[in-house]
Amino acid sequence: MELLIKTVRGEVEALTDYDCTVRETAENEKSLDVTVTKTSRNDHSFDLVDNENIIICDGEEYVIKKINPVTANDTIKVTASAIYKPLIDLADNYVYSKSGKKKKMTIDDMVAIALEGSGYSYDISPEGLDATFELEDFGDGFSNDLLRDILDKYKAEYAFEGKKVVIAKELARDTDYQIRHKFNSRDEQAEIDTSTLKTYIRGFGKQNEKTKSYAVELEYTSPLAEIYGIKHAAPIRDDSYTEKNADELEIRLQEELTDTIELSLTLTYTELRHFGVQDIRKGDYVWCMIEPFGINKRIKVVGVERYSDPNKSPVYTFGKLKRDVKSIVKGFRKTEKRVSKLFDASGKLKGSSIGSGIRIGSDANFDDGYDPTTIPRYGPATAVSDGLMTSSDFQKLQSIVVGPDGKPQVDMASASKAGLMSAANFIKLSKISVSSSGANVDLNKLVTDLSALAARVSALESK
């Protein structure tokens, strides 16, 4: 990942000593974050890292919008955040013209207005984008807002090729690449989202101005309501629906109700070039085989995070997987059936369903109707009554004296009372006299000397 810096005056210099991250998100945003440390190698280009200057990364231009210089030891670091230049160009271009009175407009009609004055051309793949919309005064807005409005209407995608906006129902490459758990991916993260879950929706067609009744009025309840209850979605009100096309309203209700639980997947991908697994881009379809999550599907890459550090593997975010409603309900019913076997008609837990071998305490069997609240509750013990321990053990513990250091203390011995030693041993030791000088006395030597003296006295007496 090589970086160049271009000033608003057109000067271009190479950058060195940087750490860079490029992000492409599912919302079609594209940005670059770079931290540059000032060194002798980039002294000529460091000061060019400034607001509104352009960072060129792999031939693509990013406009610096935020910088944050800080001191670091004996030098300076600057962190810069930059946005993909085509996105900035469309955000800065305002379209003042409007389409005029209400009329049917094609996607070409709308895109031509949205890009007016931006300097960008467009190329539209017509397949799946032939619908028309009845609009009035389309325009009068920023180019990027108008373009996103168009794409939302057609559920289409776009990308940039230089100064051209390429639009299609779907922009994707089909690849044979496989991403496998413990083979070329790690740090997999899954997110299961129910924040937009709805299970019930109503639709209203054309309304009679006099009677206020509707030509058609329908409702749709998702099978997931059996599990999660009724969660209302905003109703559809559209005068284009009458009795003649009521079936179309019914289809639309089912399509617009968000009654799915979505799972998104993010993982770190380790490129294995010698296996030919490489060059995965945003928009590609790849096979994901993540066994711990039960995923074995062809999924579209909707986000990529790449790094200038060659030792850091890119991170990929995949399009949301919709969990099958029928499978969810089936699994719920299976679990419900199993759980129902654990309880009797009154709602109490069946001891037999858990097993007769389970016991509570030393002698209590967990049988049907057993009430755990009957377990005896013991109070504290005293010197004369048992409790959590016996009274004799309580007396023993009471006799232990603990000092301020937390250690047990034992009384000194005396001639009449045992302590650190017996009273008898105390009496024996007390009979030993030591001179006031405190000289050391070797008892072993003393015994030897006494034996020698005794031998000499005996020898003298025998003469």
* Sign of torsion over alpha carbons 105, 106, 111, 116: negative
* Structure confidence by residue, pLDDT tens digits, 23-38: 998 777 899 999 999 9
- What confidence tier does 369 reach under pLDDT thresholds 50, 70, 90? low
Q: What is the pLDDT at residue 230?
A: 92
Fold of 173-193+261-326: Elongation Factor Tu (Ef-tu); domain 3 (2.40.30)
Residues near 83 by beta carbon (within 8 Å), at least 6 away in sequence: 29, 30, 31, 32, 62, 63, 65
DSSP 373-418: GGS-------SSS-SSS-HHHHHHHHT-EE-TTS-EE-PPP-SSS-
- What confidence tier does 322 reach under pLDDT thresholds 50, 70, 90? low
* Structure confidence by residue, pLDDT tens digits, 151-161: 988 989 999 99
* 3-state DSSP assignment of residue 22: strand
- Does residue 46 or residue 344 have the better pLDDT? 46
What is the C-alpha separation between 49 and 413, in angstroms, rounded?
84
What is the C-alpha separation between 12 and 138, in angstroms, rounded?
40
Q: What is the pLDDT at residue 344?
A: 62
Residue 359 has pLDDT above 70, yes or no: no
pTM tops 0.85: no
Q: What is the pLDDT at residue 168?
A: 92
* Average pLDDT, integer, range 8-36: 90
- Mean pLDDT estimate for the chain: 82
* Average pLDDT, integer, range 124-142: 91
- What confidence tier does 360 reach under pLDDT thresholds 50, 70, 90? very low
Count of C-beta atoms within a 10 Å radius of residue 173 = 14
Max CA distance (Å), the chain: 157
Fold of 93-168: Phage tail protein beta-alpha-beta fold (3.55.50)
* Average pLDDT, integer, range 429-451: 74
* Structure confidence by residue, pLDDT tens digits, 393-439: 877 777 777 777 777 777 777 888 777 778 888 888 777 776 666 66
